[in-house]
């Protein structure tokens, strides 16, 4: 849905994992603060007229066995449409002005209580609004357990593998044309892999599944494949491919959304 508009756009993200560094090692007395922001966009004029703007953040605060994390972002796109379908923009079409072609707002807050050097219990709350996916809003909360099967020594090259199991409760408010409100209770599983190949270069793969506990045929699969290259001490370039698949989407909407992203991320601290 958004991939053609966002391929060269930046969006909210971090150079590492969604909620914590893939290679971090918990300890009793660790204290850590991280705050990354990203701004980006795409603009064209002439034969085509379109623009995409995005902004986002990814942050966490770690103290002893506690960690509080948050991320969020907004995306807005607009374009002059080719209403007569002749493959070009006429002066009348340009004079009619732009229409919105994408709008997404999202935000989450997560708390982890580490119980050992490799595992934690977590809780999460947040959601998003995306009318182009059929939702006026989709708000969810989660509880679960996270375990790091494999992790590299701090500040050294290596691989990290994390798994999570939990429960997800979501309230789905569809757009006015569909006009439904539904509560969905799902079993959640996540597997996240990351590896530092060279100094400042890393690749990652994350797959999350949500299966409706009352109707197992209703399932979601969320995947992100990424490559990150460090440009300077506080600047990184991230390439990612995201797939969101819903076996039972909002009526009239596609099952799969695919998005290719080129993201410039800066670390504030």
For residue 9, is pLDDT > 70?
A: no
Short-list 58, 203, 60, 214, CA closest to 122: 60
Tell me the per-residue pLDDT of 163-208, one tens digit each, with 9 for 90 and over: 999 999 999 999 999 999 999 999 999 999 999 887 789 999 999 9
pLDDT at position 119, please? 95
d(CA 198, CA 37): 24
Share of the chain above pLDDT 90, in %: 54
Asked if 82 and 48 touch (Cβ cutoff 8 Å), the reply is: no
Full-model pTM: 0.82
DSSP 46: S
d(CA 196, CA 152): 9
- Name the least confident of 42-46, 68-72, 112-116: 42-46
pLDDT at position 240, please? 83
The segment with the largest mean pLDDT, out of 71-75, 100-104, 185-189, 229-233, is 185-189
Going along the chain from its start, the domains and CATH numbers come out as 3-267 (2.40.160.40)
Asked if 208 and 216 touch (Cβ cutoff 8 Å), the reply is: no
Distances (CA, A) of 105 to 52, 120, 238, 240: 14, 28, 21, 19
Q: Is 68 exposed, middle or buried (0-12, 13-18, 19+ CB in 10 A)?
A: middle
Tell me the pLDDT band of 70, cut-offs 50, 70 and 90: very high
């Amino acid at each position: 849905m958004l991939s053609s508009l966002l391929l060269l756009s930046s969006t909210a993200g971090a150079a590492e994992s969604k909620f914590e560094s893939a290679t971090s090692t918990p300890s009793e007395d660790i204290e850590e603060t991280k705050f990354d922001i990203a701004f980006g966009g795409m603009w064209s004029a002439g034969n085509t007229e379109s623009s995409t703007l995005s902004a986002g953040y990814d942050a966490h605060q770690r103290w002893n066995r506690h960690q509080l994390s948050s991320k969020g972002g907004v995306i807005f796109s607009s374009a002059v449409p080719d209403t007569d379908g002749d493959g070009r923009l006429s002066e009348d079409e340009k004079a009619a002005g732009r229409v919105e072609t994408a709008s997404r707002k999202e935000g989450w807050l997560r708390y982890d209580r580490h119980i050992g050097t490799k595992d934690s219990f977590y809780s999460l709350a947040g959601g998003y609004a995306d009318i182009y996916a059929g939702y006026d809003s989709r708000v969810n909360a989660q509880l679960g357990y996270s375990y790091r099967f494999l992790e590299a020594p701090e500040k050294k090259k290596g691989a990290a593998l994390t798994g999570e199991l939990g429960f997800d409760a979501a309230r789905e408010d569809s757009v006015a044309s569909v006009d439904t409100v539904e509560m969905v209770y799902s079993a959640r599983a996540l597997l996240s892999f990351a590896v530092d190949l060279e100094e400042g270069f890393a690749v990652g793969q994350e797959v999350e599944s949500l299966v409706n506990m009352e109707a197992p045929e209703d399932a979601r699969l969320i995947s992100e494949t990424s490559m990150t290259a460090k440009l300077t001490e506080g600047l990184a370039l991230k390439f990612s491919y995201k797939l969101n698949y819903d076996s039972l989407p909002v009526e009239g909407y596609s099952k799969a959304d695919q998005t290719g992203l080129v993201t410039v991320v800066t670390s504030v601290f």
